[in-house]
Each structure stands twice: as structure tokens, then as C-alpha cells.
Amino acid sequence: MAAVASAESTREVDVLVIGGGPAGSTAATLLAEKGYRVALIEKERHPRFHIGESLLPSNLPLFERLGVAEEIRAIGMQKWGAEFVASWLGRGETFEFKDSWKPNPPYAYQVRRSEFDEILIRRAGRAGAEVTEGCRVREVEFTAEPFPVRVTAVHDGGRLEQLRARFLVDASGRDTFLAGKMSVKKRNPKHSSAAMYGHFHGARRYEGKQAGNISIYWFEHGWFWFIPLADGTTSVGSVVWPTYMKQRTVPVTDYFLATIELCAPLAERLKDAKLVTAVEATGNYSYQSDLSHGPNYILIGDAFAFVDPMFSSGVWLAMNSAAQGADVVDTCLRNPSQAAATLHRFDRTMRQGPGVFSWFIYRITNPTMRDLFMHPRNTLRMKNAILSVLSGDIFGSTPIWGSLRLFKGLYYFVSLLNLPRSIAAFRRHTTDIAADAPAE
């Protein structure tokens, strides 16, 4: 770690939270409510644009715990399920959350993230956390007690500030502040993809209860998301193989619109729509850190790991890790003798979520997996178990694991029955991963 530079002012707090997204704001709220002096530092100023607008049913009980349920309801569009569309078949299959193992609640929300994130960070402020926006953490150093964390941050105007804390919560998102400083962030060797996305007005939506459902469109080069928002805007994004993205020779907006035309069912829903935001692009965004904690710090949300967003798991994994992390910090500060065991359990939780979702995500573009999703059956409650995963119900006591193992067995069995096709899909996947590998 670099030595912490001298600063113009110093603050001493119990817990310093880096990042004011869903993870950081959740952790700051819960820790402040436990009576700790909490400082939350966010590099941007809310409201600010962010992708990842689709939530899961498992988020809703946490909204109640945070006291923001009604505010989220006011900005959200109800999402009762997810539609998976095979563009070459010209049809889709809808999965409704009510068919999960324990359908409570049976819906989630689509939200504009600028509004959603601002609700959460303002809640942290009302809970008593010292919220500082427009301030970026630059350096960190771990020293001796009683304030073993020393951080230097720079405000938008250039003023330096030093913060001393008893504990550090890294919720810096894809900036991965601590993982970067410690060189423990690792590119995912099993999955690699790139994304382009923007917002549209005038997209054709479904009628009635299905109007707010997310639609996932498979096409030759990957998949698309179609997320309806309450204000009439629709978030549309493509997640593609790196080899496809590397073929781009035109501006990213033109390439994105041309890519949409390759998926006929999606293009039909957007034929009368107008792109109303700039198109953003990002590449090689799946990663995980080698560690999730140390004696005086934890990594939560995307600061620890980020997986492909096909199952809309990002916000749920971030907020759940923050809720778990707040309890971990409380235990570490109040009962240091229990810290090691508590941090060990926290590490298992942090790895469980990405692990469960990743098994599906690594295979979701495989022809076998697509066939199983397009012809779902509830033999031995396999469909119920998959719907529970889609709902985010993977951390509690719901007994889904036996049925999930049976589904995985079915997947491998069908893959063997179609061995030439499976080998061809594996080779393509391997080629795409290799094409995006960093140069030696």
C-alpha cells in the first residue's frame, strides 16, 4: 500500500464505507442504525446514471428492513417474471416468480437506477451516516490500533482529507479499490463478454401483467436485455462475445443499432422507438477477487466480484452482501474474539452467490441450456428450483439444492446425447475466451 499523504483535515469514525451505490448505502444505513459513527464516501454526485435496472423478488424484504419499500414502489415498475426468447424460433418462454419454490414475494421491480440509488444513499444519511459525495478515495494504509485504517480522499475541489477508521467496507463497485490496490482482482477465466446499452422511448411493450417483465433475447452473437421502466423508457443492452465486439469498425452507436437488427423479434419491438441516451460500451467485465476480507476490512458487492447480468443478480448480490457485511462488521468490532470465524462465514457467503449464478451463466448460450429453457418441465421440482434461483432465493433454507443437482445432471445427459453440437459449442466458447485473453 502507498503511504497516506498529508491532508488538510482529519476525521475519525468507526466505519468508513467507500462507494454510495446499493451495497455501500445499504451497509452504511444498517451500521449507522446499530449506533456506529459511519462515513460514506462516493466519488460521484447523485442522481447519476447507472445500468442494472432489473431487481429480484429477494430484494423486497430488504427494502422493508431498510424502510424504503414505499419509495421504491413509487418509482418501480412491477416485474412478475422473465421472458426468454430464441430469436431463431420466433417465440419465447415466460417464467413467473410465482412458480418458484417459495413464491413470496411473487414479483420484483424494474427501476431507473439514478432514482433507486439516490433513495438508498439518502436513506443512509437519514440513518445518521456522514455522506460525502464528489469525493474519491486515493490511498489507504493499515496501521496499529485504535484506528487501524487510514485513508486519504480528494474532494472535487481538490481538498485532501484524511479519515481514520476502525473498519473499512469497500463497496467501490467496478472500481474495485482494495482489490486493485492489493492486486487480487482476477479476470474470470471461464467467461468473457462485452456489452453495449442505451435507453429508448417508444418501444413496444406487452399488455397487462406482462408489461413490466424483462425479456432476454438469444441471438447468434450472445443475448439482449429489454427492461421496461415506469416512465416509459426501456433499457436495452446487448451482451456479446468479445470476438464479435472486436469486429466493430463504426461508431459504437451505429454498431449497437446494427446489432439489434440481427435479432428480428427485438428489432420488431424497437422499430418505432427512438434512442434517447448515448450508447455506452464495456468489455471483459466478469471478475472476482481472491479475497473478500482482512482483519479490518471487507469487500462487498461488485468490489468483490461481478458476473454476467443475464439473471439480474447484481443489485441483489450487492445488497445482500452489504446486509451480511454489516452484521460481520458489528461482530468484529463488538466481539473481536469471534472475528475470524465470522469473516470465514462471510467469505463463504460472498462466494456462494456468484458461484450459483455463474454455473447457469457460463452455459446459458449453450444450445443444450437454451433447449431446456425453451421446453421447461417441472419434473422433480426442477422448474421450481430454477425459478427460486431467478428470484434470488439462494441464501436461505429453501430446499432447492437436490432439484438443482438433478437439473445439472439432466443438462450433462442431454449434452452427451447431442455430443457433436456440444463439442462445437465448447470450441466456440473456448475460442472466444482465448480471443479476449490479455497478451503475454
Local confidence band at 74 (pLDDT 50, 70, 90 cut-offs): very high
pLDDT in tens, 386-413: 999 999 999 999 999 999 999 999 999 9
Q: Is residue 339 part of a domain?
A: yes
* Whole-number average pLDDT of the chain: 93
Confidence at residue 399, expressed as pLDDT on a 0 to 100 scale: 97
Residue 359 lies in a domain: no
The reply to whether 89 and 207 lie within a common domain is yes
User: Is 3 within the bounds of a domain?
Assistant: no
- Residue 90: pLDDT over 80: no
91 has pLDDT over 90 = no
Q: Is residue 264 part of a domain?
A: yes
In a domain, 34, yes or no: yes
CATH number of the domain residue 278 falls in: 3.30.9.100
Closest CA to 19 of 52, 49, 41, 46: 41
Residue 147 lies in domain:
9-69+112-185+289-354
Query: What pLDDT is attached to residue 2?
Result: 56
CATH of the domain at 167: 3.50.50.60
The last residue of a domain, from among 241, 256, 283 = 283
Residue 440: inside a domain? no
Q: What is the pLDDT of residues 144-178, one digit of tens each?
A: 888 999 999 999 999 999 999 999 999 999 999 99
Q: Tens digit of pLDDT for each residue in 210-266?
A: 999 999 999 989 999 999 999 999 999 999 988 888 899 999 999 999 999 999 999
pLDDT above 90 as % of the chain: 82
Do 83 and 146 sit in the same domain of this protein?
Answer: no
Average pLDDT over residues 114-143: 97
2 falls within a domain: no
Same domain, residue pair 95 and 219:
yes
Q: pLDDT tens for residues 337-361?
A: 999 999 999 999 999 999 999 999 8
Do 29 and 159 belong to one domain? Answer: yes
Q: Which of 283, 304, 329 is the last residue of a domain?
A: 283
What's residue 285's pLDDT?
Answer: 67
Same domain flag for 93 and 131: no
pLDDT at 1: 61
Q: Are residues 206 and 265 in the same domain?
A: yes
**104, 200: one domain:** yes
Same domain, 253 and 377: no
Indicate if 240 and 374 belong to the same structural domain: no
pLDDT at 439 over 70: no
Which of the listed residues 332, 354, 376 is the one where a domain comes to its end? Answer: 354
- Residue-wise pLDDT for 369-392, tens only, equals 999 999 999 999 999 999 999 999
pTM, two decimal places: 0.94
Number of domains in the chain: 3
pLDDT tops 90 at residue 268: yes
- Which of 413, 405, 403 lies closest to 368 in space, CA to CA? 413
Does residue 137 share a domain with residue 24?
yes
Are 252 and 277 within 8 A, CB to CB? no
CA 439 to chain centroid: 28
How many Å apart are CA 383 and CA 373, to the nearest integer?
9
Residue 235 lies in a domain: yes
| pLDDT at residue 63, as a whole number | 98
Entry field: residues in the chain:
440
Q: Tell me, yes or no, whether 52 and 135 share the same domain.
A: yes
Mean pLDDT of 103-130: 97
Mark whether 148 and 269 lie in a shared domain. Answer: no
Condensed to tens digits (0 to 9), the pLDDT of residues 16-64 reads 999 999 999 999 999 999 999 999 999 999 999 999 999 999 999 999 9
**For position 307, what pLDDT does the model report?**
87
